[in-house]
Structure 1
Amino acid sequence: MASRRTFIKQSSIGALALTLPLLTDLKAAAPALTTANTSPKISLAQWSLHRALQRGDLKAVNFPMVAKKEFGISAVEYVNEFYADELHNASFWDNLKRDTDAEGIQNVLIMVDKEGELGAAKTLERTRAVDRHRSWIEAARRLGCAAIRVNAFGKGDPNTLREALIDGLGMLAEAGSEADISILVENHGLHTSDAGFITGILSAVNNPYLGTLPDFGNWCLNKEWGSTKDGSCTNSYDPVKGLEEMLPFAKGVSAKSYDFGPDGAETRLPYKALLQEVKDSGFNGYIGIEYEGDRLSEAQGIRATKALIEKTWATLD
């Protein structure tokens, strides 16, 4: 009988074949930069392939292999919704860890959504949300990740919300510290895209296991999830200012991208200024590609984002 590892590799090949129609019209990726001063550490966020995953063209278990074999990226960021059925299956996470280790793939973090409001006004609701997130902390620990990414959602006036988030994020950071897993808050719309508000909460909690995952694009203050993709946001936090404020707490960076011009530049975000902020801060963690556009295929968008990061990074001061 074939081993599970053999099965995973064979399944990965099948998944790659399903994605080939997305890839055949692409030029070869630019060669990786080679010097320490000009080589950013790049990871791939699973959400970049969410349409392929939702259609069933790609199996979630094969995502890490696709990242490495198709895009030359050996560090990956998972999204919890694609593994909900496996959450409490310790063997699944242990086996995925074994298989990614064998392929030299680094499991960076798990992005956790829709597991309750960590800033809920009622203590019982906050506690339940923390407990649901604990299960993902355990999955991340088994997978060898360094962190989970969470949302600092909640309702109420700013003072009430601030106190609730200090409590909820504080409890979760304590749980993270017990497992050696960091808890990272992403700007994801509404008050979470107010970088000053969020970093004030992190300072108040004052736990080294609580940090940020600043996203280049999610700065809309009057829309949940915060996307500025379609230009419809009427109240947006300045992305360069927000990134600058969140970077001192950052243990990851999400390089959101939407679309590209003929010269390969991102057309909706000030990429050079954003990457300059990252470099100036001394950040040395992973910059995670998160393509969210519609015009290019997912594969094209990933390759375009990777090429832009590498090309731009080499020109920064």
Structure 2
Amino acid sequence: MSSSTNRRHFLRQLGLFTAGATLGPAFLTACNSAGTNSGADSAKADSAAGAGTAKDLFFKISLAEWSYHNAIFSGKMTNLDFAAKAKNDFGITGVEYVNQFFKDKAKDKTYLADLKQRADDNGVRSVLIMCDGEGELGDSDEKLRKQAVENHYKWVEAAQFLGCHSIRVNAAGTGKAEEVAKHAADGLGKLAAFAKDFNIGVIVENHGGYSSNGIWLSDVMKAVNNPNLGTLPDFGNFCINRSKPVDASPEAWAKTTCLEEYDRYKGVLELMPFAKGVSAKTHDFDAEGNCIETDYNKMLKIVKDAGYTGYIGIEYEGAKDSEDEGIRKTLALLKKAGASLS
């Protein structure tokens, strides 16, 4: 099973896709600090982000843990190994954790202290935690929506403990676009208000369904109007309507296709005004090392023109290259495209 199929399968299990989706200042301080290397500690931790030449880029480079989902799910590596691997194998000094890989450890201070120590020992900055499987923040049922908000509290606290600036969440729900937008604004607004007291931001990724429509998600941001809430534009997650599998098996999901895809450049452009993080998605590369799905020169120009200087997280999901090689190619591509704009 390909890694992209794995991704769809797990997202489906976690309820991240909305059915039939078709579409007719504490946080700012923290993010600006992470984005501009202000402060002696931040400067020291981030100086080698990506590798030696990354200091010349207009952004910093981090590694999204989902890039290693095959290795972690198979037991070849663990969440505790992640920070050292990012630094020692690639020279990357920013990491983005995935809550699935330490699902039962959010309140385990001994485990979190070990995870934090390993990052500190390697000079690695814990940037954010990507949170899935905690309920739909745009659920139409008020009680379920309230529970989803509260389910994220432990990850806000874990993110603070680890030194992250944010948690990444999803604006998922079922119903008409305007209904889900209203409910998502309510859930996200309440979670952002809670997280503010911990100096942790709440950032939303375009992650399938309505959330992959740039206008829809940017309108949700405007409706909440809370500086502690932002977006994490992903270069590749713009399928807003996918064919239905015959069952929930990985094989069935492998046969699904995207029926309606939002323009990725338009979507990133619409989400960048609210961006507190960016995800550099890759699947496959040509002989020159360019991403086949996304024009990185064009995409990074959109990011730069928005005035963004924070972390761009590598998220390799391909099947042709190994996870190590896919990460390495994405890193090289980010440096090459970024250098041409810096």
Does the TM-score normalized on the shorter chain lie above 0.5?
yes
Q: Kindly tell me: are residues 304 and 92 of structure 1, through their superposed partners in 2, closer, same or farther at Cα, counting changes over 3 Å? A: same
**In 2, Cα distance between the equivalents of 1:68 and 1:278?**
25
* Aligned 1:148-159 pairs, distance under 5 A: 148-159=167-178
* Cα shift at 1:100: 1.5
Determine if contact 2:59/2:308 at 8 Å carries over to the other structure. no
Q: Secondary structure at the match of 2:127?
A: strand
Q: Kindly tell me: are residues 82 and 287 of structure 1, through their superposed partners in 2, closer, same or farther at Cα, counting changes over 3 Å? A: same
**In 2, Cα distance between the equivalents of 1:44 and 1:130?**
26
Give the letter for the 2:286 counterpart: G
* Cα shift at 1:175: 1.0
Give the letter for the 1:281 counterpart: A
2:318 equivalent in structure 1: 293
2:194 equivalent in structure 1: 175
CA RMSD of superposed structures (Å): 1.8
The correspondence for 2:139, drawn from 111, 117, 120, is: 120
Is 1:315 the counterpart of 2:340? The answer is: yes
* Aligned 1:1-317 pairs, distance under 5 A: 32-33=52-53, 36=56, 38=57, 40-223=59-242, 232-316=257-341
* Cα shift at 1:231: 10
Deviates more, 1:301-310 or 1:84-93: 84-93
Give the letter for the 2:105 counterpart: E
**In 1, Cα distance between the equivalents of 2:112 and 2:51?**
32
**In 2, Cα distance between the equivalents of 1:116 and 1:283?**
30
Determine if contact 1:40/1:310 at 8 Å carries over to the other structure. no
**In 1, Cα distance between the equivalents of 2:54 and 2:217?**
36
Determine if contact 1:118/1:126 at 8 Å carries over to the other structure. yes
* Cα shift at 1:245: 0.6
Q: Secondary structure at the match of 1:145?
A: coil
Point out where structure 2 has 5 or more consecutive residues left out of the alignment: 1-49, 244-253
Using the size of structure 1 for normalisation, the TM-score is: 0.86
Q: Kindly tell me: are residues 206 and 230 of structure 1, through their superposed partners in 2, closer, same or farther at Cα, counting changes over 3 Å? A: farther
* Cα shift at 1:309: 0.6
Deviations 1:101-127 (A, max 9, x none): 232110000000010000000110000
Q: Secondary structure at the match of 2:297?
A: helix
**In 2, Cα distance between the equivalents of 1:208 and 1:31?**
31
Determine if contact 1:172/1:183 at 8 Å carries over to the other structure. yes
Using the size of structure 2 for normalisation, the TM-score is: 0.79
**In 1, Cα distance between the equivalents of 2:201 and 2:161?**
14
* Cα shift at 1:35: 5.4
* Cα shift at 1:160: 1.6
Q: Kindly tell me: are residues 130 and 35 of structure 1, through their superposed partners in 2, closer, same or farther at Cα, counting changes over 3 Å? A: closer
**In 2, Cα distance between the equivalents of 1:304 and 1:35?**
19
**In 1, Cα distance between the equivalents of 2:282 and 2:55?**
25
Q: Secondary structure at the match of 2:197?
A: helix
Q: Secondary structure at the match of 1:288?
A: strand
Determine if contact 1:39/1:310 at 8 Å carries over to the other structure. no
Determine if contact 2:139/2:145 at 8 Å carries over to the other structure. yes
**In 2, Cα distance between the equivalents of 1:114 and 1:223?**
20
**In 1, Cα distance between the equivalents of 2:219 and 2:118?**
40
Deviations 1:56-109 (A, max 9, x none): 111111111000001110100000000012122022212322331232110000
**In 1, Cα distance between the equivalents of 2:179 and 2:305?**
35
Deviates more, 1:62-71 or 1:92-101: 92-101
* Cα shift at 1:230: 9.7
**In 2, Cα distance between the equivalents of 1:298 and 1:255?**
15
Report which structure shows greater RCO (CA 8 Å, sep ≥6).
Answer: 2
Q: Kindly tell me: are residues 53 and 313 of structure 1, through their superposed partners in 2, closer, same or farther at Cα, counting changes over 3 Å? A: same
**In 1, Cα distance between the equivalents of 2:51 and 2:201?**
32
Determine if contact 1:32/1:310 at 8 Å carries over to the other structure. no
Deviations 1:229-256 (A, max 9, x none): 9994221111111001100100000000
Give the letter for the 2:272 counterpart: L
Give the letter for the 1:151 counterpart: N
